[in-house]
């Protein structure tokens, strides 16, 4: 474990806590893409198939459970919670994400570490996570003004993978024969998708103005 990866995991956890705070405090999920939340639930369930077979550490198992439980809880809230579900931007959250799932799985069948169920699903989860934010970014562009907690949620979610890139660079430089091509290339693509959001987020922070993404 190195400082970059710890910072990445803590930033990821923070993004989830901010999202839970927004939904709990405002009893609203306006501005949040349910499709992105569902994609993340799929990402975690596909990535952590080894949850009960490979024990890495208490920290690793604990965080996997947190990620799976929180993503499923958020999807449940947005679908079934009597108050929260009413604020879902159904008519704005229309990204046809089935293509993202299909393309990620097709790519995982072609490019993976080993052709085993666990490795193919792991690669699938890596590719799917790289594009999982797209429905959310599209929703932000359509929904005009973005409330602070939603903006912070997306910011931390994008920042965590940037820390992971620093972690892979650090490990590549300090560990012999360390390679993470699948996660590394996907992580760069994933972080690049946030580039314009980071730009407008920085502008809104510098000008102390409302975060607004151009349509």
Look at residue 145 and give its three-state secondary structure.
strand
Which of 14-22, 26-34, 88-96, 174-182 is the region at the interface with another protein (rule: CB under 8 A)? 174-182
Footprint of another protein on residues 21-80 (CB under 8 A)?
50, 54, 56, 60, 63-64, 67
DSSP state of 147: -
Alpha-carbon torsion (87, 37, 139, 158), positive or negative: positive
Considering only 40, 153, 155, 164, the residue that binds another protein (CB under 8 A) is 164
Give the residue with the Cβ less far from another protein, 8 or 31: 8
**25 or 117: CB nearest another protein:** 117
Q: Pattern of binders to another protein over 102-131, x per CB under 8 A?
A: -----------xx----x--x---x-----
The SS3 call for residue 212 is strand
Buried b / exposed e over 27-65, threshold 16 CB at 10 Å, is ebbbbbbbbbbbbbbbbbbbbbeeeeeeeeeeebeebbe
Residue ranges binding another protein (CB under 8 A): 5, 9, 12, 50, 54, 56, 60, 63-64, 67, 113-114, 119, 122, 126, 164, 167, 179-183
């Amino acid at each position: 474990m190195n400082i970059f990866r710890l910072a990445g995991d803590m930033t990821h956890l923070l993004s989830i806590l901010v999202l839970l705070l927004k939904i709990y405090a405002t009893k609203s999920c306006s501005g949040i893409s349910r499709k992105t939340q569902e994609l993340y639930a799929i990402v975690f369930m596909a990535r952590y198939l080894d949850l009960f077979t490979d024990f890495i550490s208490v920290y690793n198992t604990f965080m996997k459970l947190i990620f799976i439980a929180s993503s499923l809880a958020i999807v449940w809230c947005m679908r079934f919670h009597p108050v929260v579900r009413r604020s879902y931007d159904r008519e704005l959250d229309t990204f046809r994400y089935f293509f993202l799932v299909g393309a990620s799985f097709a790519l995982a069948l072609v490019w993976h570490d080993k052709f085993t169920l666990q490795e193919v699903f792991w690669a699938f989860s890596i590719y799917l996570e790289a594009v999982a934010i797209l429905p959310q970014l599209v929703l932000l562009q359509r929904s005009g003004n973005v409330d602070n907690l939603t903006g912070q949620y997306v910011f931390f979610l994008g920042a965590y993978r940037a820390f992971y890139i620093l972690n892979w660079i650090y490990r590549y430089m300090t560990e012999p024969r360390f390679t993470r091509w699948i996660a590394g290339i996907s992580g760069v693509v994933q972080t690049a998708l946030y580039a314009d959001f980071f730009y407008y987020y920085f502008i809104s922070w510098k000008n102390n103005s409302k975060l607004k993404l151009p349509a």
